[in-house]
């Protein structure tokens, strides 16, 4: 598994994250990004090309050192100045109320303690700040959800800790955010167990 995580997983992740199916949703999700921005779960840096032109600087975190060989060249080539740290979202070292925007795309599925991480995201957001997210998760259809439950234990070690069955809308809302607005849909081009999306803006009032 060590070899897989060091060499194969980063390649597969980069391939999966560059899927055409995510292009429009990424651009839509990131369109409102403004002010002081933190991206959690930066991954291979796929979002850099989707920030609006007004964004010139972001802070970004990801705990996985093996992704650097993909993310660092993207950072170097980007017009955006990225202040990157190897950190996990459950333990953000930033003072409270620092950011206007926090961004997470396809990341809440992989964070071990997602409830704690959402609490941290809320803490570092200014009052009125926005959490922009695009996540896949638990489908409303019982048949799909049953398969998500069945497959998650086998999928998790292969997919970098990814849970197929997290109820994203509820998790974000239960963390104390106001959903403003948030949409759910099956993403065309992906199997339904991977492609039930929750996308939008959650606000810290
Ligand atoms: C499926 S990838 C998505 C990457 C990127 N956000 C994108 O949209 O292309 C999930 C990411 O979550 C990161 N991750 C895993 N555990 C994390 C944690 N505790 N805190 C922050 N990020 C984490 C992984 O390292 C990985 O980069």
- 139 Cβ closer than 6 Å to some ligand 1 atom: no
Share of the chain above pLDDT 70, in %: 100
DSSP H helices, 31-80, are: 68-77
Ligand 1, from 29, 41, 90, 156: best to mutate by most atoms within 8 Å of Cβ?
Answer: 41
> Residue range 81-102: average pLDDT?
98
Residue 63, C-beta contacts closer than 8 angstroms, at least 6 positions apart: 86, 87, 88
197 vs 133: CA distance, rounded Å: 10
Determine whether 109 is exposed, middle or buried from the number of CB atoms within 10 Å of its CB (0-12, 13-18, 19+). Answer: buried
Each residue of 97-140: pLDDT tens digit?
A: 999 999 999 999 999 999 999 999 999 999 999 999 999 999 99
**Spacing, Cα 75 to ligand 1 middle (Å):** 16
Strand, helix or coil for residue 143: helix
- Ligand 1 center–CA 171 separation, angstroms: 17
To the nearest whole number, what is the mean pLDDT of the chain? 98
Helix (H) or strand (E) holding 180: strand 178-186
Which of 19, 83, 62, 18 lies closest to 160 in space, CA to CA? Answer: 62
For residue 158, how far is its CA from the centre of ligand 1 (angstroms)? 14
Taking CA atoms, 176 is separated from 56, 65, 114, 148, in Å, by 29, 31, 14, 26
Q: Report CA(169)–ligand 1 centroid distance (Å).
A: 18
- Nearest ligand 1 atom to alpha carbon 90: 19
- pLDDT score recorded for residue 47: 98
Domain boundaries, the chain: 2-203
The Cα 86–Cα 43 span in angstroms is 11
Residue nearest (by alpha carbon) to ligand 1 atom 8: 105
CB 182 within 8 A of CB 198: yes
Nearest CA to ligand 1 atom 22: 41
d(CA 45, CA 158) in angstroms, rounded, equals 20
Q: Ligand 1 centre from 113 Cα, in Å?
A: 13
Whether the CB of 103 sits within 6 Å of ligand 1: no
Q: Give the distance (Å) from ligand 1 centre to CA of residue 42.
A: 6
Kindly tell me if the per-residue pLDDT of 1 is higher than 90: no
Strand-pair partners of 68: none
Is the C-beta atom of 67 inside 6 A of ligand 1?
yes
Residue 51: predicted pLDDT: 98
* 59 CB-near residues (< 8 Å, 6+ apart): 36, 37, 38, 39, 82, 83, 84, 85, 99
Report whether 196 contacts 184 (CB < 8 A): yes
The yes or no reply on domain 2-203 and CATH 3.40.50.150 is yes
């Amino acid at each position: 598994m060590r070899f897989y995580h060091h060499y194969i997983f980063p390649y597969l992740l980069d391939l999966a994250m560059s899927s055409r199916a995510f292009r429009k949703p990424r651009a839509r999700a990131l369109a409102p990004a403004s002010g002081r921005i933190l991206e959690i779960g930066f991954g291979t840096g796929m979002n850099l090309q989707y920030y609006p032109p007004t964004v010139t600087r972001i802070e970004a975190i990801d705990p996985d050192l093996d992704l650097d060989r993909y993310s660092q060249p993207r950072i170097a080539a980007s017009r955006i100045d990225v202040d990157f740290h190897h950190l996990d979202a459950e333990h953000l070292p930033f003072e409270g109320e620092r950011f206007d925007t926090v961004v997470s795309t396809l990341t809440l599925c992989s964070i071990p303690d997602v409830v704690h991480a959402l609490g941290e995201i809320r803490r570092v957001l200014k009052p009125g700040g926005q959490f922009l997210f695009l996540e896949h998760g638990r489908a409303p259809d019982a048949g799909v959800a049953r398969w998500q439950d069945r497959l998650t234990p086998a999928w998790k070690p292969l997919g970098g800790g990814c849970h197929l069955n997290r109820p994203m809308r509820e998790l974000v809302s239960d963390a104390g955010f106001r959903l403003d607005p948030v949409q759910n849909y099956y993403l065309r081009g992906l199997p339904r167990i991977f492609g039930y999306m929750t996308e939008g803006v959650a606000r810290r009032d």
